[in-house]
A and B are shown apart, each in its own frame.
Chain A
Amino acid sequence: MSNTITAAPVRHKNTDTNMFLPRMAKINKIEVMTEKETYYELEYLDKSDLGHNPGQFVEVSIFGIGEAPISISSPPTVKGKFELCIRNAGMVTNKIHQLKEGAMVGIRGPFGTGFDVNNFKGKNVLFVAGGLGYAPLRSLINYVVETRKDYKDVTLLYGTREPKEILYKKEIEALEKNKDINFHITVDRGAEGWTKNVGVITTLFPKVKIDDPKNTIVAVCGPPIMYKFVVMEVLAKNIPAENIYLSLERRMKCGVGKCGHCQINSVYVCCEGPVFNYAQIRDFKEAI
């Protein structure tokens, strides 16, 4: 299997197609994951690859209602189809949740700059996922799991508010059993039968042992409130700012760097992000 991923930022350039014109894709498979989050497998009508990098997103169209930016949760190694994990959080996503298998939606993208995967090779990798933040990271996590030998220690921290909010339960169970991954999970509030850690995600950090901080890459995605605290923990482990990647959520409306809604200081998240190197945005007052 070819796993070549370009390290350079992939920007969606429309030379012969219109950047506002969605392409139609069919929903192949739907799986309800939690009360609010549902898994979708889609494919373009011509079965062409989405051609994305882990960390990129697409704009999903429900015609007559609007578009919503959704991060791609399948690794690029999955060919001819792609997967999204969609939270019912607004008018568009609410309509998506009413769709049945076989329905068509519009897709624009992939947009933005994803994770610089080549920079992860040969290093320790630490994933920190909070809530729905697992979905964008999953693209990268599954890729790293598939190419496990290319990395040193791989650690995954995953936190949700409650046990019932855990996404991709079967995959999470498999990761827990995977001897090659240091896996730690937590919930803010426990529930009956929950025997694992209770507390916010930063309470998992004492369990993380970083041998070679300079050679450790961190990828973080979660709710806005999480970043500041996670970054503090990571820096406290002497991991340099350049090694920390954050995937940020903003209101990406056009997806192509024009409409301005996703702007953080001078950068357009939809083009230069949503994945940022912490060193790059450290001084941006509005970033985290």
Chain B
Amino acid sequence: MHKAMTRAEVALFAENLVKTNVVYGVVAKDKQFAWDRISDHKEMVLDYPTTISSPKKYFLPPTETLIEFKLAANPDPKFVNHSQEAILFGMHACDLYATKMLDHAFEDTNKDPNYLEKRKKAILIGVSCMPDPDCFCNKMSVDEEVHNEAKISKKEALYDIFFKNIGHKFLVSVGTKRGEELLAKYAKPAEATKEELDQLKVVEKKRVESFTNDMKLDVDQLVKLLPKTHKSPVWKENADKCFACGTCNLVCPTCYCFNISETVKLNLAEGSRDRDWDSCMLPQFAEVAGGENFREHVADRLRHRLMRKGLYIKEKFNMSGCTGCGRCYRNCTADISIVKMFNRLKEVSENE
């Protein structure tokens, strides 16, 4: 099942990939980390706690052109698709899970060609991680979906290749045929030895035990709890300190809402229709042309956001809408914690 590669071999593999492929990976940015195009494999890091934004920005860019047209009697609109073959190297379990969730969202009912073309041409390479205090993917069924080999063998893996850090080496799990071919083409990994597999068990146990989050609900418990919380005072409690700045949505790996806007060139002869990241926390998100705003208050919008994370997406796609990556809390200037909010909803609901 598992292959084994030394750190040097993984570095060589990365070097070979970068030479002949379009590779996206994680690079240091100040004291944090961010996804970026890799031109030199030495810039790419595999040991990182988390990234500012998630790799969703590759599949659903902050701004993306959908169509181009002329400003003429016949505008002759043309569809634009900028997909390419690419490798995303170094995805954490939470982001792999999120990508699968986004696949559902963009495949459902009406297929979104811009997302799906890019997705189809992308190879996902995962890497294991150790949780930080804000991670709670273990409660959101993410950890299990990605790491449980027995579960994966029954269905399609969420990755093409996954590197599991066991200290001096990486054990490599291959999830798809594409992953297998890529690995065979650019590396010659040995089979993992029994000692290495034992070491993996030790490391995995350590990872599971390293979660220190306080999340008191799992995915199924959230689905049971949330429908009862529409009128909870918890929304207002948090609304008072919330900036409604949209950060939580934008850094969330499963948030995919967008705005559609027009850009016209200064020659006033051509233009494009683009989609830009949007956020249901922003005041105008649910406003209609007449001025009516269906989620006018911050509390309404906080509720909507958490309902999506814990309930609506689960109902729709049978996947958790929250991966437990902790980005929304880490990046929140007002220090609003999704874990504390879920826990408090539970607490208030139980005391009713």
Verify whether A and B have any Cβ pair under 8 Å: yes
| Interface set of A (CB-CB < 8 Å, partner B) | 11-15, 18-22, 24, 61, 63-68, 89-90, 93, 104, 106, 223-224, 249-251, 253-254, 256-261, 263-266, 271, 285-286
Distance in angstroms between the alpha carbons of A41 and B298 in the assembled complex: 41
From the candidates B70, B75, B79, B110, name the one contacting A12 in the complex (CB within 8 A): B110
From the candidates A21, A253, A258, name the one contacting B112 in the complex (CB within 8 A): A258
Residue of B nearest to A285 (CB): B230
Indicate if B351 sits at the interface (CB-CB under 8 A).
no
Distance in angstroms between the alpha carbons of A266 and B258 in the assembled complex: 17
Task: Tell me which residues across on chain A come within 8 A of B312, comparing CB atoms.
Answer: 263, 265-266
Task: Tell me which residues across on chain B come within 8 A of A265, comparing CB atoms.
Answer: 307, 312
From the candidates B77, B111, B288, B295, name the one contacting A22 in the complex (CB within 8 A): B77
Minimum CB–CB distance from A178 to chain B (whole Å) comes to 31
With contact pairs A67-B260, A250-B288 given, residues A258 and B300 touching in the complex (Cβ less than 8 Å): no
Residue of B nearest to A91 (CB): B289
Give 9 nearest A-B pairs by CB, closest first: A260-B257, A266-B312, A90-B289, A256-B110, A63-B75, A18-B79, A89-B289, A20-B66, A63-B69
Task: Tell me which residues across on chain B come within 8 A of A13, comparing CB atoms.
Answer: 109-110
A-side interface mostly: loop
Cβ B75 vs Cβ A106 within 8 A: yes
Residue of B nearest to A13 (CB): B110
Q: Among the listed stretches B45-53, B179-187, B271-279, which one makes contact with chain A, having 4 or more residues with CB under 8 Å of it?
A: B271-279
With contact pairs A68-B289, A271-B109 given, residues A259 and B271 touching in the complex (Cβ less than 8 Å): no
Task: Tell me which residues across on chain B come within 8 A of A224, comparing CB atoms.
Answer: 292, 294
Cβ B261 vs Cβ A286 within 8 A: no
Task: Tell me which residues across on chain B come within 8 A of A256, comparing CB atoms.
Answer: 109-110, 112
From the candidates A19, A63, A65, A260, name the one contacting B77 in the complex (CB within 8 A): A63
Residue of A nearest to B66 (CB): A20
Indicate if B256 sits at the interface (CB-CB under 8 A).
yes
Residue of B nearest to A89 (CB): B289
Cβ A65 vs Cβ B262 within 8 A: yes
Tell me the residues in window 239-270 of chain B with beta carbons closer than 8 Å to chain A beta carbons: 256-262, 264
Sample of 9 A–B contacts (CB below 8 Å) = A14-B113, A64-B69, A104-B74, A251-B288, A254-B258, A254-B275, A257-B110, A259-B259, A266-B315
Task: Tell me which residues across on chain B come within 8 A of A89, comparing CB atoms.
Answer: 289-290
Task: Tell me which residues across on chain A come within 8 A of B67, comparing CB atoms.
Answer: 18, 20-22
Indicate if B152 sits at the interface (CB-CB under 8 A).
no
Distance in angstroms between the alpha carbons of A258 and B257 in the assembled complex: 7
Task: Tell me which residues across on chain A come within 8 A of B77, comparing CB atoms.
Answer: 21-22, 24, 61, 63, 106
Distance in angstroms between the alpha carbons of A13 and B292 in the assembled complex: 30
Cβ B110 vs Cβ A14 within 8 A: yes
Distance in angstroms between the alpha carbons of A224 and B113 in the assembled complex: 34
Cβ B260 vs Cβ A63 within 8 A: no
Cβ A21 vs Cβ B105 within 8 A: no
Task: Tell me which residues across on chain A come within 8 A of B335, comparing CB atoms.
Answer: none
Indicate if B287 sits at the interface (CB-CB under 8 A).
yes
Task: Tell me which residues across on chain A come within 8 A of B287, comparing CB atoms.
Answer: 251
Distance in angstroms between the alpha carbons of A261 and B110 in the assembled complex: 16
Cβ A259 vs Cβ B75 within 8 A: no
Distance in angstroms between the alpha carbons of A73 and B7 in the assembled complex: 66
Q: A61-B75, A64-B69 are in contact. List 10 more A-B contacts (CB 8 A).
A: A14-B110, A22-B77, A63-B71, A249-B290, A250-B288, A251-B289, A258-B112, A259-B278, A263-B304, A285-B231
With contact pairs A90-B289, A266-B311 given, residues A11 and B259 touching in the complex (Cβ less than 8 Å): no
Distance in angstroms between the alpha carbons of A67 and B69 in the assembled complex: 13
Cβ B286 vs Cβ A104 within 8 A: no
Most chain B CB inside 10 Å of its own CB: which residue of A67, A257, A271: A257
Task: Tell me which residues across on chain A come within 8 A of B256, comparing CB atoms.
Answer: 258, 260
Distance in angstroms between the alpha carbons of A22 and B78 in the assembled complex: 9
Give 1 or 0 for each of B12-45: 1 = CB within 8 Å of chain A CB: 0000000000000000000000000000000000
Distance in angstroms between the alpha carbons of A120 and B292 in the assembled complex: 31
Task: Tell me which residues across on chain A come within 8 A of B66, comparing CB atoms.
Answer: 20
Task: Tell me which residues across on chain A come within 8 A of B288, comparing CB atoms.
Answer: 249-251
Cβ A104 vs Cβ B289 within 8 A: no
Distance in angstroms between the alpha carbons of A261 and B301 in the assembled complex: 12
Cβ A18 vs Cβ B110 within 8 A: no
Distance in angstroms between the alpha carbons of A268 and B316 in the assembled complex: 11
Indicate if B150 sits at the interface (CB-CB under 8 A).
no
Distance in angstroms between the alpha carbons of A3 and B69 in the assembled complex: 37
